[in-house]
Structure 1
Amino acid sequence: MRRSHQGALLLTGLAILLPVMVIVSIGVGAVPIPAGDILTILFDRLGLIHSDVSNQSALIVESIRLPRTLLGVIVGGALAVAGASMQGLFRNPLADPSIIGVSSGAALGAGIAIVLGGMLFANAPSLIQSYSISVLAFGGGVLTTWLVYKMGSGSNGTSVATMLLAGVAINALAGAGMGMLNYIADDTMLRNLTFWQMGSLGGATWELVMICATFLIPVMLILIRYGQVLNALLLGESEARHLGINVQKIKLTLIFLTALAVGVSVSVSGIIGFVGLVVPHLIRLAVGPDHRILLPASAMLGGILLLGADMVARTIVAPAELPIGIVTALMGAPFFLSLLWQQRKRIA
């Protein structure tokens, strides 16, 4: 079967599976809700039918599970598309958004808000205090990305190798900052900091969903439009220039969009690792490296995978909740090791 046909089948299958996973995710929890009741509640709120489902079920769906599920779809999709874009830009299958310091910078920003926020925002309006962690996390991710880009840029353009080395240094520096914050934090702060670093969708609200949708959906759509350009970059920068592509501008745009996607995602959900690494590889194994298929498929599979991980996190230790970052790490780390093993065999 031709790759294009495989890609079309994959996209169709994922487009069907995603809404199914959304319904399943809404139904799973301490109070199971049948799929029929979920659809009835949703259609009732859209004004299509009149619902006679219990108020308790309607409240759980509307106020808790639906915003959490939608946040998972958006964040998972954004992280996966950002990972696929980074792998295409760096022409490295092991690349991940965290490689340029976005995640570590966001973690440092959130850590500052958690540990020092009481002092920094003591006189700030309540709205700013409520979103201080998200704002500083986003700011930290953008700042570290800017530093990495400036260090990798020169009169001859942007050096990908220099950016990778700068990312390693920034990650180490942010790690040292987090260590210092851990040292001076009290027990409550330390617990909050630890749980934030593990990632969670438990804080989902309709406000957060709207904020994420406003930023992340346009970013994903723009990145998907760069599929053909990323295909050209796979041939090499010189070849891409011969095809009339402004490589320098493309690098800057992709880095900015990736930083925006990861920064916003991390600011609302904490650090959720391996989604940006694993999902693009799974798609690549199925249909090849064509970014015109890879990017939209990654967006859908990223949402599906994160919903699956969230359902596991909510149910495996019920009534408690496991941080979702632990679940994605348990799924992603063996896959990452298998990739390293394959790379090792090619070198050998």
Structure 2
Amino acid sequence: MRSALSRRADTGTAGDARTLPAGPLLLVLGIVLLLALTAAVAWGSTSVPPAEVWSVVGRRLTGATPRPGTDDLIVWQLRVPRALLAALVGAGLGLVGTAVQALVRNPLADPYLLGISNGASLGAVAALVLGLGTGGTLGIGLSGAAFAGALATFALVWAVAARRGGFAPLRLVLAGVAIGQFLSGFTSYLVLRAGDEQQTHSVLFWLMGSLGGANWDLLALPALAVPGAWLCLQARARGLNALLMGDETAAGLGVDVTRLRRELFTVTSVLTGVLVAVSGAIAFVALMVPHVCRLLVGGDHRRLLPVSALGGAVLLVVVDIVCRTAMDAQELPVGVVTSLLGAPALLYLLDRRLGSDS
């Protein structure tokens, strides 16, 4: 019996026979991501030929002297950082969604259930409304305030959830939802306190998700956090598989369930804080991507984590292209498009799940 359970912990939950092989799928997603990044840099109010895009990138990466003109400014200074930020945030949301769904043993769970995004949003809104950011713009000061809010919320949820020992899924969710709703109410109050219409517009736009503040300096934090979180989660893939079979079964397989939950909670909270700090609150990606990827490659987290990361990166890069090009006069918030995509997808997945359970 133990050997059979160990094999399930190594390979994920049952029902993977009809799934796709992860290797070829990762290759396809990598190629699609490369094409999407190229399109994201090439398309916009001023189009740049893809060949020129790669010429500019090649000269910058090799240290060659950039050609004078607007193409280098548009490609390297404006669009490449934004495209890379979209890929990093999408990958991070895919990872954090996968981890939280294992943490609370619910494939329809969302990392924002932990309340961390609400804390990050409160920090960012406070920076905008109270003038604590860098001139009230989406800069490093705003990101720092959002990250500080995320860490403070993380500490509060941690303290409440661990008050009587242990990190049971229900306790985590209830603590996160309660604290998150409280912080959301306080955020709404600060929005009402905004001093002028332009300030209110900036706050609301950021709360709906935005990649418009992307620059090379802003990339540093997610560029470290996302790969680091992936390595941490990948090293715990077997424990994530075991969690899905229940705490008693996981403990029987030698998994320290309480310690694992603490580690997962720490990684997902910090990563969520980083992502919200640099992009605002982007809805549905962390919920939708892991579930779709699970349908494709099964429940083994050794395969699911990298596929979810690449899938999230592709999705958010494509969504950002739509946000920048769909309207001539203005840019759409990223969260608007992800919600329009995510809500129907969630309804479909719920219908599929309920149909399979009946």
Q: Which residue does the alignment assign to 2:175?
A: 166
Superimposed CA distance per residue, residues 265-291 of structure 1 (whole angstroms, 9 cap, x where no aligned partner): 111111111110111111111111111
Whether 1:66 aligns to 2:80 is yes
> Which residue identity lines up with residue 218 of structure 1 in the other structure?
G
Whether 1:116 aligns to 2:125 is no
Q: Is the 8 A contact 2:222 2:275 kept in 1?
A: yes
Whether 1:271 aligns to 2:273 is no
Alpha-carbon deviation of 1:66?
0.4
Superimposed CA distance per residue, residues 32-73 of structure 1 (whole angstroms, 9 cap, x where no aligned partner): 111111111122223387876x62111111100000011111
> Which residue identity lines up with residue 43 of structure 1 in the other structure?
G
TM-score norm. by structure 2 comes to: 0.89
Q: Which residue does the alignment assign to 2:54?
A: 39
Alpha-carbon deviation of 1:184?
1.5
Q: Any runs of at least 4 consecutive aligned residues in structure 1 with deviations exceeding 6 A, and if so which?
A: 48-52
Q: How does 1:299-318 map to 2 (within 5 A)?
A: 299-318=309-328
> Which residue identity lines up with residue 146 of structure 1 in the other structure?
A
Q: Which residue does the alignment assign to 2:118?
A: 104
Q: Is the 8 A contact 2:19 2:295 kept in 1?
A: no
Alpha-carbon deviation of 1:216?
2.5
Q: Which runs of 5+ in 2 are unaligned?
A: 1-15
Q: Is the 8 A contact 2:140 2:218 kept in 1?
A: no
Distance 1:66 1:3 in 2: 38
Q: Which residue does the alignment assign to 2:154?
A: 145
Within the candidate set 219, 229, 234, 2:244 is matched to: 234
Q: How does 1:178-257 map to 2 (within 5 A)?
A: 178-186=187-195, 187-257=197-267
Q: Is the 8 A contact 1:199 1:271 kept in 2?
A: yes
Pair 1:92–1:5, CA change in 2 (3 A): closer
Distance 2:289 2:101 in 1: 11
Superimposed CA distance per residue, residues 238-290 of structure 1 (whole angstroms, 9 cap, x where no aligned partner): 11111111111111111111111110111111111111011111111111111
Distance 2:62 2:141 in 1: 37
Whether 1:80 aligns to 2:94 is yes
Within the candidate set 22, 28, 41, 1:7 is matched to: 22
Q: Is the 8 A contact 1:30 1:319 kept in 2?
A: no
Distance 1:292 1:250 in 2: 16
Distance 2:198 2:72 in 1: 34
Distance 1:61 1:225 in 2: 36
Q: Is the 8 A contact 1:284 1:294 kept in 2?
A: yes
Whether 1:89 aligns to 2:103 is yes
Q: Which residue does the alignment assign to 2:299?
A: 289
Superimposed CA distance per residue, residues 165-187 of structure 1 (whole angstroms, 9 cap, x where no aligned partner): 11221122012101211222122
Q: Is the 8 A contact 2:139 2:213 kept in 1?
A: no
Distance 1:116 1:90 in 2: 36
Q: Which residue does the alignment assign to 1:25?
A: 40
Q: Which runs of 5+ in 1 are unaligned?
A: none
Q: Which residue does the alignment assign to 2:3?
A: none
> Which residue identity lines up with residue 89 of structure 2 in the other structure?
V
Pair 1:188–1:344, CA change in 2 (3 A): same
The secondary structure found in structure 1 opposite 2:47 is coil
Q: Is the 8 A contact 1:219 1:261 kept in 2?
A: yes
Distance 2:165 2:228 in 1: 31
RMSD between aligned residues? 2.4
TM-score norm. by structure 1 comes to: 0.91
